[in-house]
Structures are given as structure tokens and as C-alpha cells.
A and B are shown apart, each in its own frame.
Chain A
Amino acid sequence: MMNWKRRTEIFLRSLFLQACWNWERMQNFGFAFCVEPGLRRIYTGEALREARLRHLDTFNTQPYLAGMIAGVVLRMERVAANGDGRVERIETLKRALATALAAIGDVCFWAKLRPLSVAAALTVGSVVWVLGGAARGGFLAGAGVFLGLFNLPAVWIRWAGIRLGYENGEAVAAAIERMNCQRLIGRLQNAGRVATAVLAALALAAWPLAAGRGWKEALAHGMIFAACLLLQAHPISVLRAYGALVAAGLFGALTLQ
């Protein structure tokens, strides 16, 4: 059942997972949209109606991993339609997978890979800009690195996850365990540390000196950066952080007037 055409259908539909996000049932409509073609091939009549209601229930997960859950669900629905499985098991497993994959996906993609891609993009973009002398070249290089570094694994898991979910069905948890997500998160963390250290070193030392600005200006920027790092010692929203900067600036301007 899960041939190239079916997989492409689910993949394209998964791009609209969050189009109709609502507070009551969250991504339920987008998920129902994803699995609808599969459900139509498995069920008709009253059984189809019940299957649709099942998948209009509350659902929320990391968007790039929803395809994997769709694959699992369609496999289990096919088994249940043949009389070899229980429908209640589908609902239980779907909920458990959504929560577990959300936790993994949010850390991997939003908390690690995206900021890592930003740091790498800014490093490459600024190097190309300064050495090449053209802003457009720097932007193209930076945007290319950002979009490539983030989207390659994202598109891969969106595409491969559908088949992984369908082939493994209920045993998908073991397949996920073999992917060793903790080690992956650790590697992303280390890569992020290297990328941000290089970016900070370039911004604080290399570029000001290359522009002939001298050690005093580099030192002043370093002190401002250190103060900002201290400001971030506890989680603080971006508006409050910027507000603190404005307050410091006003205080300085009024004091030195």
C-alpha cells in the first residue's frame, strides 16, 4: 500500500499539518487531512466514518515527525480492518507517539539544529561578505547554508519517516530507539558550541581588527557582550531583554548629559 505515489501524497499533505491549528484539538484537522487518502483505501461506509472521527481527535506533535505517525496509524488501521488488531490500541499508540516524538523533535530541530544553522550561516555569510566585498554574495552564501543545513535532515525525516512508520507499525518505538536520538542531540549540542564560539570570535576580534578599528574598540564590544551574557543568565523574553538595553542606554545618556 505504501508505494511512491501514496508516500508522496502523505508527504505533500503533511506540509499543511498546521494550516488549521486550533486550541481545542490542535493539529487534528491537518493530521486527518494527511491520513484521509489512506483511510479511504482501507474503509468504506460506517467504518470510514468512525476512522475519520478517530483521527479528528486531539493531536499535537513536531511537524516533521507527523508523517511517521501517519505511517504507523495507516499500518495499524489496515491490520485492524483485517480483524487482526484493536482500534483502541491505535488511539493509545498515536497519543503516546505524538508526545514522545514531539519531545525528541522539538529538541533536535527547534532547540539545536535551527540555532546551529543560524550560527553556521552567519559565520559563512560574514566571511564571504568581508572577504568578497559584496553584501549579496554574503547573503546568498549565508541563506544557502542556513536553508541547506536545516532542510536536508528535515526533509529526509519527513520523507523517510512515513515509510519507517508504515513498515514498523507498532514496533516503531524500537526503530526510533535504534536511531539513538540522545547521541544525536549531544552531537548537535557540541556542533552548536563550536559554531557559536567561532562566530563570537569572528565578531569580537577578527572583523574589528580586519577593519582597522583597534584593540580598544574590540575590548569595549567584548565588555558589552559579556554584560549581555550576564543578562541572559536566567531566561528572559526578548522584549524584556531589549527593554533592559533601552533602560541602560537612557540611564547612560541622562547621566552623561
Chain B
Amino acid sequence: MSRIDFDIAHLLAGSLVLISFLELYQDRLYALLNVYALHALTLAASVAWQAFIQDAPHLYVTAAIALFFKAIVIPVALHRIIVRLGIHRQIDKVVGVGSAMLAGIGLVALSMVVTLRATYGVESLARQDLAFALSVVLLGLLMMVTRRNAVGQVVGFMSLENGLVLAATGARGMPLVVEISVAFSILIAFIVIGIFLFRIRERFDSVDLQALDQFRGER
């Protein structure tokens, strides 16, 4: 692999981590969706680049899914849902921006330490991709924890999933990547349809998950 191939792959994977940080501190839903679309776009570029340098044409399918489904269809659909539900106000986050960012930095450091130590045998691109991917996964989890709003949590889950796709495409020659990315897209589609069809807004008068909790018989 030539130096420039490596650098571009590295750049794209690194940008994904940075964009995860951007998502972490967005406090408006529209802005969050736009940043997520950028996240998915970067993922599509990264996967397409991997398809090119690994000479693995089936990965272009995964890239296309990322481009059309995640970067266009899902953000547009969520945008509409937000308008319908009338929740384009500020997101009430559980923790502040500062502590979320600090926690995020800690998680990235953790994933670097863990993966770089555990992967001495693996070639360096896959190794660093894996470290980046784990960072994106952990940042996605952090985002799900720091948001109370259902839409915010879904965006967190989707960026977590982008991290998984990054890991799967970075693992050279992994079979079933396309199938798995399709399966995941179905899962996400269900989640989005779920918000809409279950009419969380209508039923609970809020997509704030704290309000959901109070309907439970045990409290």
C-alpha cells in the first residue's frame, strides 16, 4: 500500500472521530441532524476509499448504502419527524458540554490504549482503523447516555453503528460486510419508523424519555 493511500484512509477515519465530537456538543436537533449527515457522508467516503485500495468492489455497495440511506434518507426523514412532532427546540442534555467533551476525550484515549495494545499482530492501517472505530462506537454510546430526547438517542445509535461499519470495512476481506450493513440499515429504519408509528409524541406528549419512565406501573 502506498503512503498516500494510507494517509487518505487515515484522514477519513480520523475525521469520523472528530465529527463524532461535533455531534456531542450540538444542542439543537436540526444542527445535530446536519452533523450526522456529514458523519454518514464521511463514512461513505471512507468505505469507498477502502473498497478502492482493497480492490473489494462489494464494499461500494456498503458505501452506497451509507451515502443514500444514512446521509440522505434518514436525516430527511428525521427532519420531517421533528417538524411533525414540533420538538425543534433545544435538546435538554443530562450533562453539560464541558463534561461531555472531557468524557469523550477520556473514551478516545481509552480506546487507543486498549486497541493499540491488543493488536500488535495486525497491520498498521487496520490497527488504527480499529482504534478510530472503537472511539466512534464509544462516543456514540456517550451521546446516547447524555441525551434524554429520543431523536438525539437515535442519532447517537446511528453514529455508533457508523463506527461498526468502519471497523468491518477496515478488517480486510471480511465476508458478509454488505449483508451486515443491510441488516443494520433495517434496524435503523425500524427505529425511525418506530418513533413515527408508535407516535411517541402523541401517546406521551413528549419524546423526552424521562416522561416515558413515569408511565410505568412500578413507580
- A and B: interacting chains: no
